[in-house]
Structure 1
Amino acid sequence: MENQEITPKQIMLNYGLMLGFASVLISVALYAMGKTYEPHWSVGVISTMITVAVIILGIKKIKEINNGFLSLSEALKTGLGIALISGLILVAYNLIFVTFIEPEYFARMLEVQQQKMIEMYPNFSDEQLEASLEMSKKMSGPMINSAIIIIGSLFLGFIISLIGGLIMKKTDEEITSI
């Protein structure tokens, strides 16, 4: 049997798929529980913890295949690759969700936002409320939503891999300087 070498691309793909499917699983669970429009704050915490864990494990795997060495650029590249793949999976699921599963998603989300605005700002005039809702309408839709998912995923992936990379980095220069 041939001994195949694991490449950084394979690691990014595997961990990105893992994170993407975990994100989809959380979204499906929210939908099944009827919490799509108003999820509990703990869902965000759990999602972030899963994201941190998967990206850090991916970076750790890169360090392993590099015999214990890791540069900051390798950590950033790995973390961003994982985040991009998972973001693309979540975008694909989201497009299916808003097109076929819940076609009224954006209209219902606007209703939820309107209720929250009325509760939070009871002194808003009708004009202010209408202006806020118009802005929300402009910022909703499948393409804007997809862009927000990708940008958010990459931003979080960058922060996690930057911190993880700074903590885990180990280069030849560090060893020779000791």
Structure 2
Amino acid sequence: MKNSILKNGIFGGIIVSIVMISMTLYMKTYPDYEPSAIIGFGSMLLAFIFVILGIKQQRETNNGVITFGKAFLTGLSISLVISTIYVLVWLVIYYNFFPDFMEQYSKMVLKNTSPEELAAKTAEMNQMKEWYKNPIMVILLTLMEVFPIGIVVSLIGALVFKKK
């Protein structure tokens, strides 16, 4: 089981990390253009296909039987591995290659904000800049980008593959 969780988690983590690296390079190269959120979200969904595969493999290992709880825990474990890889890769990128990310991101967001929303969005960006001064907050904010999707996919996978 541990082998299946690690293998699927690493494959999913590699997929989502490659897309994140590509989007970060794009953002550094073209700071005036916002990377596609659809591509980022799509890569996360693609990576979490490995959650479904892992749950299915676990069911096959148990002679075609898996409870909802066991399937959900398997999916959650794979999601945690994927999310951990995603966070670790972001930390390396942020602290070593893109330390001015929040400045560039804030400029990009504020540039694309309507005048009536500018004050609220400026306050939001200033709050995020403050949060990004603390490494724990960087980890938590990055984890919150990806892990909730893993929870949802784990629930769906557990519902689909449960079999007593």
TM-score, length-normalised on structure 2?
Answer: 0.84
Check if 1:138 corresponds to 2:134. no
Residue 155, structure 1, aligned to residue 119, structure 2: no
Cα pair 2:51 2:153 within 8 Å, conserved: yes
Matched, 1:97 2:90: no
Alpha carbons 1:80, 1:158 under 8 Å: kept: yes
The 5-angstrom pairing of residues 1-178 of structure 1 reads 8-33=1-26, 34=29, 38-117=34-113, 120=114, 122-124=115-117, 128=120, 130-141=122-133, 142-171=135-164
Report the CA distance shift for 1:167/1:130 in structure 2 as closer, same or farther (over 3 A): closer
- When Rg is computed on C-alpha atoms for both structures, the one with the higher figure is 1
Return the alpha-carbon distance in structure 2 between the equivalents of residues 44 and 18 of structure 1.
16
Task: Give the stretch that moved more between structures: 68-77 or 137-146.
Answer: 137-146
Structure 2's unaligned 5+ residue stretches are none
DSSP-derived class of the 1:110 partner: helix
Matched residue SS, 1:123: helix
Cα RMSD of the aligned pairs, angstroms, is 2.3
- Name the % identity: 25
Q: For the Cα contact (< 8 Å) 2:15–2:47, is it kept in 1?
A: no
How many pairs are equivalent? 160
- For 1:82 and 1:35, how far apart are their aligned partners in 2? 34
1:75 positional shift: 1.2
C-alpha change, 1:111 and 1:152, in structure 2 (3 Å) is closer
The one-letter code matched in structure 2 to 1:79 is G
- Distance apart, 1:167 and its partner CA: 1.5
Letter in 1 for 2:162: K
Whole-angstrom CA distance in 2 between matches of 1:128 and 1:152: 21
Flag the 1:12–1:40 CA change in 2: closer, same or farther, 3 A: same
* Structure 1, unaligned runs of 5 or more: 1-7, 172-178
Residues 55 and 71 in structure 2, CA contact (< 8 A), matched pair in contact too: yes
Kept in 1, the 8 Å contact 2:79–2:154? The answer is no
